[in-house]
Amino acid sequence: MSSKAIGFVGLGIMGKPMARNLMKAGYSLTVYDVVASSVEEIATDGAVPASSSAEAAEKAPVVITMLPDSADSEAAILGPGGVLEGASEGSVVIDMSSIAPGSSQKIAAACETAGVDFLDAPVSGGEPKAVDGTLAIMVGGRKEVFDRHADILDKMGSSVVLCGGYGAGNTTKLANQIIVAANIEAVAEALVLATKAGLDPNVVYEAIRGGLAGSTVLDAKAPMMIAGNFKPGFRVRLHQKDLHNALLTGKELGVPLPVTSMVQQMLGALMNSGKADSDHSAIANFIEGMAGAAISRD
């Protein structure tokens, strides 16, 4: 079995470009997704299609999973036809899904029992950075396992950091998602306020982006709000899920997360209004609705 062989499970909005970057770097991929058309698309690029997660694991010593939520990762790795059915002792599972830390720890324990190494390695950066191969990758697991596979992660990210033991990657991702959500909500409030005051939101954005209010989130999301463009780079429903996991983790640890709870409710309201698959910058739509004012002038 080639050391350059990777099984890749989960070919969604993030998984596809991540898989493509691995192939560009010279890795041979065996891929699986429950959506057959996604498998066919990546197979056209040179990957080998598999009929199950287990088959993808049989063909490679390293298996990467990139799935929507905890239940999906557990099913794909631990369930019937899952990765552990096909994995060999000494292989490694790298779950790059953004899931609850406790779920990562559950998967890690099952992998250890099977003699399989495990890393939880969620990412941040959305589709643009997945395409560019410049994701921020937050990793949990044993250092020796991380050191052996950091070169693979480097092909998908510009920042790859071992954050601690099992679940630490996903705990760090939850911290990231709290900051991103609160920042997007603040940008939305600010631009709605400026617009309703009669100012040009483009001018306001240019005026503040070089000061203390400037941020990667501001530069990524303010132009989308101003243009009324909510094509998904990271979907509302996925960010709502992440904040739900953050609130559950906060409850387990006894940490109040009042702003997180508020923004999570906004995302839930957007889902109920049919915007589950809009970009998370659509938080602006919630604020616009309350204010009776639209940022976009198109």
Token pair 């092909």 is found at 155
Q: How far apart are CA 38 and CA 53, in angstroms?
A: 14
Cα angle 95, 98, 104; round to 5 = 55
Q: Which residues are registered as beta bridge partners of 29?
A: 6
The pair of three-digit structure tokens given for residue 114, joined into one six-digit string: 């099977």
Q: Helices 216-227 and 168-196, interaxial angle, to 10°?
A: 50
Judge whether 4 counts as a catalytic residue: no
- The answer to whether 20 and 45 have CB atoms below 8 angstroms apart is yes
Token pair 């889902």 is found at 271
| Alpha helices in 114-197, H assignment, sequence order | 126-132, 143-154, 168-196
Which residue among 16, 106, 129, 173 is the active-site one? 173
Catalytically active residues are: 173
